[in-house]
Amino acid sequence: MKISKLIKSLITGIPQDRLSDEKKSVTEPIDGYTLKYHYKDVEITSWEYIPQDVKIGNQIVLIQEPTNEADDKAVMLLFVPQRKKLGYLYRGKLQDMANDYINRGDKIVARLSYIRFKPYKIIKIDMAFFKKNK
């Protein structure tokens, strides 16, 4: 049964215009890689403006930011295809894993999974870590 955007919006609290009809999973297989870890609804830190055309399910790219004055291990998150900064991973295990995977040339797939603006902004992403096959 297909649920309307209005009902999804009422259930999740996500505005209707932010819901996407297309919901790809971060765990879809990648040729030459094996899925190692999968995390759902990872809360991220964000003070950035969120573009109007961003939708739940949009892909997110992770980029190391070693010149970040607050944290030389910072991992910045960018929306695709808008190439607008979303925010950062919090310091800790996931940030360390992301840096390790990026440094080794392995793959990380991330998508926007939740966004709320009121009474305060909460943004969550789904992440999957893939290791290159030998």
Express each pLDDT in 96-129 by its tens digit.
Answer: 999 999 999 999 999 999 988 777 888 999 999 9
pTM of the model: 0.80
Express each pLDDT in 40-91 by its tens digit.
Answer: 999 998 877 777 778 889 999 999 999 999 999 999 999 887 778 889 999 9
List the CATH code of the domain at 22-132.
3.30.70.2330
Residues contacting residue 38 through CB under 8 Å, at least 6 positions apart = 26, 27, 126, 127, 128, 129
Task: Give counts: helices (H), strands (E), the chain.
Answer: 2, 6
- Domain ranges in the chain are 22-132
